Amino acid sequence: MRNKIRIVMMWLLPVILVGGVIWPYLGFLVLGMMVFFLVLSYFKGRYWCGNLCPRGTFLDKYLRRFARDRHVPRLFKNSTFRWSVFILLMAFMVFRLSIASSAAAVGLVFVTMCLLTTVIAIPLGLVFRARSWCAVCPMGTLQGTLSKRKHAVELNSECAGCGVCKIKCPISSDPSSGKVHSRDCIKCGKCSTVCFKDAIQHN
């Protein structure tokens, strides 16, 4: 069921990117999704990112076949860098909204933001891991910060320290280090799936 939902959600990406240029009002779908996942994030952290995000599913399903699968750069996990990206993109969005003169123009702003971030996400995904963008995504950073739980993943005493969980993590987080902050976990569950000791607990 989860995979079927992800596939359905994935098709919203081309609908918004292509259809939004023709009919900008589709941009309000982006706004609706933003409101939804920000509310959801308080209760489930970045659950949207790993289970419902249209672009995330596209990167997982298609771009992963061509990605070089290198670890995500440490810079992408740096708080200062992430919040700088957040401020830069939000400032651009607010500026565009401030000069929008109609509902269609407002919708086009959200289509543009979706297109811009997708254009950034694809080359990053080809050079590093398919979902490298997700490590620095402004909305992902905000979702992880809004989560009522500071840590999304914790270990029990059974951990063997093999590091397989980090190898399989789409954004190169390392559960074997002890704890993973909610900003660094997209709740995809891949780490716990590959853990042969069942040492990983999702909060």
Is 107 contained in some domain? yes
Count of Cβ atoms closer than 10 Å to residue 160 Cβ: 11
| Average pLDDT of the chain to the nearest whole number | 93
Look at residue 181 and tell me if it is in a domain.
no
In a domain, 170, yes or no: no
For 164-185, what is each residue's pLDDT tens digit? 999 999 999 998 887 788 899 9
The answer to whether the beta carbons of residues 132 and 76 sit under 8 Å apart is yes
- Give pLDDT tens digits for 69-120: 999 999 999 999 999 999 999 999 999 999 999 999 999 999 999 999 999 9
Residue 70 domain-assigned (yes or no)? yes
CA–CA gap between residue 60 and residue 64 (Å, rounded): 5
Domain membership flag for residue 91: yes
pTM above 0.85, yes or no: yes
Query: Residue 35: inside a domain, yes or no?
Result: yes
Residue numbers of the domain that contains 85: 2-147
Q: What's the confidence (pLDDT) of residue 128?
A: 97
Rg (CA), the chain: 17
Categorize the per-residue pLDDT at 33 as very low, low, confident or very high, splitting at 50, 70 and 90. very high
Residue 175, domain member (yes or no): no
Mean pLDDT value of segment 41-50:
94
Q: Tally the domains of the chain.
A: 1
Q: Which amino acid is at 31?
A: L
Residue 169 included in any domain:
no
The edge-to-edge listing of strands for the beta sheet with 151-155 is 179-181, 151-155, 200-202
